[in-house]
Structure 1
Amino acid sequence: MKKPIIAITSDISRFSSMSSNDQAIDYAPRDIIRAIYKVGGIPIILPSPTYVEDTNFEALLSTFDGLLIPGGPDIDPKFFKEEAIPEIGATFYERDQFEIPLIQEAQKYGKAILGICRGIQAINIACGGNVYQDLAKQYSNLKIKHRQSPTEGSFPTHKIKVEKDSRLAKIVGYESFVNSRHHQAIKDLGKNLKITATSSDGVIEGIESKNSDRILAVQWHPESMWQVFPDQLKLFEDLVKRAGN
């Protein structure tokens, strides 16, 4: 039986590695890679090319069955037609320039997609939505801490309520206790998406496609939790299952 291939978009480390003098190394979170292996998928890492106009998306998409967009830096507000506010964090323009059209093309080809943290935001922007550049500055109803540092990331810090008619509810239940490492979040929802989870102060914590099972995304980091809370592994298992269909 063929194992689904799951492509994970990469970030870049700006520090020299122990084994070479390279200053820019493409990488993906190891806990995500281990999770994909554990649930029966084959993970591959997609480097962000410098010149996106040269990317042959058709050829690229033919190499994998599912796409995982992990966490990372803030998204450049240019991609949702805003100027950067002073509170925005570090951005990575090349990753945005590659990742957003990749998500759009993956949808056209019917690929299964999972977004994590920054990933939920990138998917929403790729679908025509936007994000709060900084919750503390721009979201008036903020009542709980969404950046749990220095609390260890493997432990949950706040609850979410999950919509009963959602795919997410079948995976994590109607209520879940999750970790939280973000200062940005979805503001206006993109096209053909629906909200599937919110925190107690109304911040969007989950989305999925309206009319298919192709997109599912969460604002928390299940890759940091599944070793301690095995139920979080079901999100990766669901991606591999969708990618195999």
Structure 2
Amino acid sequence: MRPIIAFTADTLTEPMTAVNDQFADMAPRPLKNAVLAAGGAPLILPFPDDTHLAAEMAAAYVATFDALLLPGGPDVDPTFYGEEPRPEIGRTVYPKDCFELALIKATLAAHKPIMAICRGMQILNVAMGGTLYQDLPSQDPHASLRHAQAAAGQYPTHHVIMKADSSLVGMIGQRAYVNSRHHEAVKDVASGLKVAATAPDGVIEALEDPAHAQILAVQWHPENLWEADRAQLAPFKQLIERAQAGHVAATTAVSA
């Protein structure tokens, strides 16, 4: 049986993010297709406009899925990591942040696997106590690459280097050519996470937990690359494997 892989979407604020939207570069459709190709069953979770419902909805949802996939999207509200917005910050969606933060915490507490992409990696880091650069070009003097690429999203534009002790190096190799669509990035890494990959300019490109068991997060968009570069499907396959292992363990515990 395919494990249920849940991911969040801007379905209440962004008409173009419908599941089968024609704007494949921006919508959840590439995520849906990657999850299906990897062997999972995708489930999209809308966020409530009422932020008071965020924790309640997160608790209700977490029982319905085997793993959580956090996709890309708008900037993260900086007040969640103790800062006010800089002039360079992009669009934020406060109710979405409230819901995803609650959902991440509920998923971590339930010991279910998480994969995060782009904004997903950023809000995961914040949820676990880390901070972000609100705008790389104006805040990080070492960010010498263009991380908000002008090329179409399915085309790679810069390299990333995997850490030798990361799970990614076994999946993708030591070096990969990836796409890059962000101006925010991880600054201070949260306790409980470690850097798994960087860009040549030092910008953090992947995070994971030290045991490689629950969390894998990447800054690039493998959902737009895997059809041309099959190695980019490996993180999704690993998520499915982790979800299946957790589902079997949970079922065994209930049976006992």
TM-score of the alignment, normalized to the shorter chain, above 0.5: yes
Aligned to 2:205: 205
Aligned to 1:87: 88
Relative to its length, the structure with more helix (as a share) is 2
Measured after TM superposition, the shift of residue 154 of structure 1 is 1.2
Aligned-pair identity (%): 45
Please give the residue correspondences for 1:34-113 in structure 2 after superposition, counting only pairs within 5 Å: 34-54=33-53, 55-113=56-114
Does structure 2 conserve the Cα–Cα contact (< 8 Å) formed by 1:69 and 1:119?
A: yes
CA distance in 1, matches of 2:186, 2:15: 34
Measured after TM superposition, the shift of residue 13 of structure 1 is 6.3
1:233 aligns with 2:242: no
Relative to its length, the structure with more strand (as a share) is 1
CA distance in 2, matches of 1:115, 1:132: 18
Pick closer, same or farther for the CA change 1:53–1:145 going to 2, 3 Å. Answer: same
Query: Partner letter of residue 206 of structure 2?
Result: G
Measured after TM superposition, the shift of residue 84 of structure 1 is 0.2
Pick closer, same or farther for the CA change 1:42–1:154 going to 2, 3 Å. Answer: same
Measured after TM superposition, the shift of residue 58 of structure 1 is 3.4
Query: Please, which moves more after superposition, 71-80 or 50-59?
Result: 50-59
Aligned to 1:20: none
Does structure 2 conserve the Cα–Cα contact (< 8 Å) formed by 1:192 and 1:211?
A: no
Measured after TM superposition, the shift of residue 77 of structure 1 is 0.6
Does structure 2 conserve the Cα–Cα contact (< 8 Å) formed by 1:48 and 1:98?
A: yes
Pick closer, same or farther for the CA change 1:143–1:231 going to 2, 3 Å. Answer: same
CA distance in 1, matches of 2:220, 2:210: 21
Secondary structure of the corresponding residue to residue 200 of structure 1: coil
CA distance in 1, matches of 2:180, 2:211: 28
CA distance in 2, matches of 1:211, 1:38: 26
Could you state the TM-score of these two structures normalised by the residue count of structure 2? 0.87
Aligned to 1:31: 30
Aligned to 1:123: 124
Q: How many residue pairs end up in the alignment?
A: 234
Measured after TM superposition, the shift of residue 56 of structure 1 is 4.4
Aligned to 1:181: 181
Query: Partner letter of residue 29 of structure 1?
Result: P
Query: Partner letter of residue 183 of structure 1?
Result: H
Measured after TM superposition, the shift of residue 57 of structure 1 is 3.4
Does structure 1 conserve the Cα–Cα contact (< 8 Å) formed by 2:59 and 2:103?
A: no
Taking only aligned residues, the RMSD between alpha carbons, in angstroms, comes to 1.6
Pick closer, same or farther for the CA change 1:15–1:34 going to 2, 3 Å. Answer: closer
CA distance in 2, matches of 1:88, 1:12: 22
Query: Please, which moves more after superposition, 112-121 or 233-242?
Result: 233-242
Secondary structure of the corresponding residue to residue 111 of structure 1: coil
Structure 1 unaligned runs (5+)? 18-26
Query: Partner letter of residue 203 of structure 1?
Result: V
CA distance in 2, matches of 1:109, 1:16: 32
